[in-house]
Amino acid sequence: MFASRVRNGVQRYSTIRCIALGCRTLSSIDNLGLEEKLGGCLSSLPPKAKVVICGGGVMGAAVAYHLARRGWGDQTVVIEQEKIGAGSRWCSSGLVGAFKPSLAQVQIAQSSIRLLKDLESRGKPTGWKQCGSLLLARTRDRMTVYRRMKSQSVSWGIECELISAQKCQEICPLLNVDDILGGLWIPGDGVGDTHQFCLSLMREAVENGVGVMEDCAITAVHSKDGKVSGVDTTSGTIECQYFVNCAGFWARQVGRLSKPQVKVPLLPCEHYYLHTKRIDNLDPMTPVIRDPDGYIYLRERDGCILAGGFEPIAKPVNEDEIMNAAQRCIPEDWDHFHVLLQELLKRVPSLNQAILNKLCNGLEAFSPDCKWIVGEAPEMFNYHVACGMKTVGISAAGGVAEATVDEIVDGYSKYDMYELDINRFLGLHNNKRFLRDRMKEVPGVHYGLPYPFYEFETGRNLRLSPIYPTLRDRGAVFGQVMGYERPTWFESVEKNTVSPETPRQFKIAHTKTFGKPHWFETVQREYWACREAVGLADYSSFTKIDIQSQGNEVVDLLQYICSNNVDVPIGSIIHTGMQNERGGYENDCSLARISENHYMMIAPTIQQTRCKVWLKRHLPRNGSVTLSDVTSMYTAICILGPFSRSLLSELTDTDLSPSNFPFFTCMELDVGLANGIRAMNLTHTGELGYVLYIPNEFALHVYNRLMTVGEKYGINHVGHYATRSLRVEKFFAFWGQDLDTMTTPLECGRTWRVKFDKDIKFIGRDALLRQRDEGIRRQYVQLLLTDHDHELDLWSWGGEPIFRDGNYCGQTTTTSYGFTFKKQVCLGFVQNLDENGVPQQVTNDYVLSGHYEIDVAGIRYAAKVNLHSPHLPTKYPDKERDVYQATRKLHDPEQFLGRHYQP
C-alpha cells in the first residue's frame, strides 16, 4: 500500500523499490509489454527514393502516412534502427490535449485529434478515447490562466468550461479538492495509445506504397550543392532528394551524421510514469487530470491509474550512453520522484490503498525553449526535422507531420510555423554543456505558470555586448533573446555604490503577474526620457548582415527578394518586407545602402538564422553575391529623444542638420575619438534619434562619451520594455509578434511600401496583386481600452479575442501600456466573419463603423479603434518624426522630408 510506504520515514524509498521489484517478478504477462509487429517490410534497401524518413516511431509513421496521402508513397522509404513502434509502452502517457501555448500549436494538435478520430472511425486501432481533461487550479494566478484560456477558446475553436472546485469533484470523485479554487473542463480532450497509433499509420502508409526497412541504422547523410543527395546505412546506400529526421530521442545524434552537421538542440531528461495494479470500479471514462500547480497528471489506463509529472528541477542524462529503445528505461530514482509522489497522494488520497505495479523512468528529450522542433534545417536544403515533442508525440504527430509534408510537397505549410522552426536556434543552443544546464529547468516550464515575458534562469550570461558590464552596474535587469543578454529595464542605482572590485549582481527580468507589473514606474520613467530628453538603449542583439557584390548583382537580388524598391541613393535606408510566394512576411528589415553594391541589413534579433537561410536560398549560384553576418562585430547603441541630435552633435564634426543628415539615411561618423561608426537616422520606435553601429573595440569609449556629454540633456538608460511601449503606441508592427509568414503588407497597412511597378518582379508580387484586386480579409488595427483601470484590472498581454458589435472578429498580437495615451494599447487583426465564420472582405469603413471590445480573462473592455499611426502630443514637436507613419500613411512624406526619405 502506498500509505505505509510513505509513512516509513527514511526507509520509504528502499521499501517502495523492493515492493516495485517484487511486483515485477509476480507478473507473468503484461499487456503493455506485448508489442505488435508490422508486416510487409523491405528485405533490402532500394537504390533510390525521393524521400527517406529516419525513425519508425509515431512521428516518422505520421510523416510516411501523409506522404502516402499526397501520392508520394512509392517514392518514400522509412528507415528504423530497431522495429517499428519500438520502445516500452510503459513509458508513454498517451495524453491528447488541444490547448497549447499558441494558435499554431493548437491547430497542429487539432489536426492530430482529427487524424486519431478518422483512423478510429475506419476501424484502425489508435486507443483513442474522448474522456475529456480537467485542469485544476490551486492559486488565483492559475485561475487567471484558465480564464484567459476560456476567453481564447473563442478564437481557437475549443469547447471548454470554467468550473468550481465542487464541480471538479463531481466530474472526478477520486479528487481531494480541499485546496482547489476551481478548474477548466475540456470535454474534447482524450487519450490514445501511441504504439497502436504508430502501427495503424504505418500500415496505411505501407498499403499505399511506402517502403519500411527495419533493423537498419543510418550512418551518414550526404549533400550536393547544399541539398540532400543520399543516405548511407548499415544495409547500404540510398539516393534521395529529401531527408526527414524523425529520430526523436536520437535526433541530435542523427543530425551529427550529416555533412555538414545539422544542429538539432535536444537533450533527454528523466521522466517518470507510475502504474498501479487494477483498481476496482475505476470508471474507464475517468478524465485526464492535470494539476500543474502540483506538477502532476494522471489518467485511467486499462482499469489502472497511470500518473506522472513535470518536476520543477529535472535530471538531464547523457544520451550518448543510450544505444537502443530498451536502454531508455533506466533505474528509477525514488528520491527524485518523491516530490511528484507527495502531490499525487495529496490530490488522490485513494492512491494510498492502490497497489503499485511499476514506476518507469523513461528518458524524454526536450528542446532548450520547451517547444517542438520542426522545419527545414539551415545547414542543408531539403533536410527536414520533426522532433522534440516533449512526451506528447501522439498529440503533435498528426499535425506536425502534415505541416512537414506540405512543406516538402508544396514548399509551404498552411500553419504558421515560425515559432517552432528549427531556424529559431543558433549553434550555441546545440552546445551540450549549454543543454545540460538549461535542461534542469525546461521540463518544469511545461506546467509552470505562463507569466508574460518568461525568462529562463539557466544558460545565461552567454552573448554579451562590450558595454554589458557597465550596463549591469548601472542597474540593468536583463532578458535573453537568441542567447543575447538585453536590458529590459534599469533599476535605480546610487552613484559610487558599485566598483570594479564589487560589480553589481546579474539580475534576470521577471513579470510574475497578469496585472500591473512591478516595473511599471521604472519603465514609465524611461519612456518619458525618450519623449522629453534623451534615452540610451542597447540594440546590439539586432541581426546585422552585410550583403555585397562586385557588380550590380546585389541590387538585382534584393529587388527580387524585397517588395520595396531598394535601388535608392547611396546613404538611404529602405524599410522593406521580404515576402514569400503567398505574400506573407519571411522577414521585415531595414536596408542601408552603404555604397553602390553594398547594403547593410538590420533585422529582428530572432531572425539571425532565419533571414540568412532565406537569403542563401535565393543567392546566385555563381557566387557573385556574398553575405557576411556582422552581428557580433558591432555594438549598436541607440540614442533617442528630442535632444539626441544636440547630444550627438557635440561628439562629431559632421553636420547633423536635416538638410545634411535627413531622416532614414545613414552615414559613417567619427564619434568622440573613434571612427568608422555607421550612424542611422532612425530608432525603430517613431522617436527622433540615431542608431550607432560601433566597431566593438570603440564601443565602451563611445558609450562613455555619450553618457558624459548627455548628462546636461538628462540622458537615461532605457530598456527593451520602454522602447516596446513606444513602438506599440506609435502603431509599429514587429516581425514575430504582429507580422509573420501568413501576414501580407496589404493587411498590415504597408501597401505603400510595396512597389508593384519595379523592373524586377519580386517574390510574392502575383499574390499581392490578387489580394489587392480581391480585397483583404483581415486588417491590422490599434485599439485603446477606454474603460480599463491599469491599476486594478488584469492587463492585456496578447492573444485576447476582439469583438465588434458583440461578435468575435479577431485577436490581439502585441500589447503595452501607452504612457501618453494613459491607456492600455492593443495591436491586432480584425476580420469580417459571416454567420458561418467565413472571412469576407474588410474595408476601412467596415473597421471604423463598429463598436469594439477586448476580452481580458473573461471581462470585456470597450476599445477605440485606430487605422493610422497616431500623432502623439509632445513638448518638442519635430517635423521629421511627426510626419513619419509606420502604418497607413495619410500624406506623401517626401513633400516634408526631401528626396532621401525612403521608408
CATH number of the domain bearing residue 552: 3.30.70.1400
* 419/88: higher pLDDT: 419
Q: How far is CA 690 from CA 599, 642, 656, in A?
A: 18, 11, 11
pLDDT at 12: 38
- Give the total number of structural domains in the chain: 2
pLDDT at 4: 44
**Which tens digit of pLDDT belongs to each residue from 194-207?**
999 999 999 999 99
Question: Which of 736, 766, 796 is the last residue before a domain boundary?
Answer: 766
pLDDT at 872: 86
**Which tens digit of pLDDT belongs to each residue from 807-861?**
999 999 999 999 999 999 999 999 999 999 999 999 999 999 999 999 999 999 9
**Which tens digit of pLDDT belongs to each residue from 113-146?**
999 999 999 999 999 999 999 999 999 999 999 9
DSSP 417-476: -GGGBGGG--GGGG-HHHHHHHHTTHHHHTTS---TT---SSS-S-B--TTHHHHHHTTE
pLDDT at 881: 63
What rounded mean pLDDT belongs to the chain?
92
State phi, psi for 401 to the nearest 5 degrees. -65, -40
Q: How confident is the model at residue 390 (pLDDT cuts 50, 70, 90)?
A: confident
Q: How confident is the model at residue 322 (pLDDT cuts 50, 70, 90)?
A: confident
552 and 405 co-located in one domain: no
Neighbours of 362 (CB within 10 A): 23
Domain assignment of residue 690, yes or no:
no
The yes-or-no verdict on residue 24 having pLDDT over 50 is no
Domain assignment of residue 514, yes or no:
no
106 and 234 co-located in one domain: yes
Query: For 847-879, what is the HEC assignment?
Result: HHCCCEEEEECCEEEEEEEECCCCCCCCCCCCH
Q: Which helix (H) or strand (E) holds 709?
A: helix 699-710
**Which tens digit of pLDDT belongs to each residue from 278-297?**
999 999 999 999 999 999 99
Q: Please tell me the distance from the alpha carbon of residue 194 to that of residue 189, in angstroms, as a whole number.
A: 15
DSSP state of 731: T
Question: Which of 425, 440, 469 is the last residue before a domain boundary?
Answer: 425
Question: Which of 384, 406, 425 is the last residue before a domain boundary?
Answer: 425
Domain assignment of residue 214, yes or no:
yes
The yes-or-no verdict on residue 23 having pLDDT over 50 is no
Length of the chain: 903
Q: Please tell me the distance from the alpha carbon of residue 326 to that of residue 218, in angstroms, as a whole number.
A: 19
Domain assignment of residue 20, yes or no:
no
Domain assignment of residue 711, yes or no:
no
Q: Are strands 859-866 and 852-856 parallel, antiparallel or unpaired?
A: antiparallel
The yes-or-no verdict on residue 777 having pLDDT over 80 is yes
pLDDT at 206: 97
* Cα 564 → chain centroid: 27
CATH number at residue 113: 3.50.50.60
* Cα 104 → chain centroid: 10
pLDDT at 625: 97
For a pLDDT cut of 70, what percent of the chain falls above it? 93
* Cα 70 → chain centroid: 28
Domain assignment of residue 451, yes or no:
no
What dihedral do alpha carbons 204, 210, 213, 217 form, nearest 10°? -110
Q: Cell for 506?
A: 546579474
Q: How far is CA 888 from CA 215, 619, 858, in A?
A: 60, 32, 32
- Structural domain for 567, as ranges: 543-630+744-766
Domain assignment of residue 415, yes or no:
yes
DSSP 744-800: -TTTTT-GGG--TT-SS--TTHHHHHHHHHH--SEEEEEEEESS--TTTSPPP-S--
724 contacts 487 by C-beta, under 8 angstroms: no
Q: How confident is the model at residue 321 (pLDDT cuts 50, 70, 90)?
A: confident
**Which tens digit of pLDDT belongs to each residue from 700-719?**
999 999 999 999 999 999 99
Burial class (CB in 10 A: 0-12, 13-18, 19+), 40: exposed
The yes-or-no verdict on residue 891 having pLDDT over 70 is no
Q: How confident is the model at residue 890 (pLDDT cuts 50, 70, 90)?
A: low
* 32/654: higher pLDDT: 654
Q: Structure pTM?
A: 0.93
Q: Cell for 794?
A: 488584469
122 and 257 co-located in one domain: yes
419 and 554 co-located in one domain: no
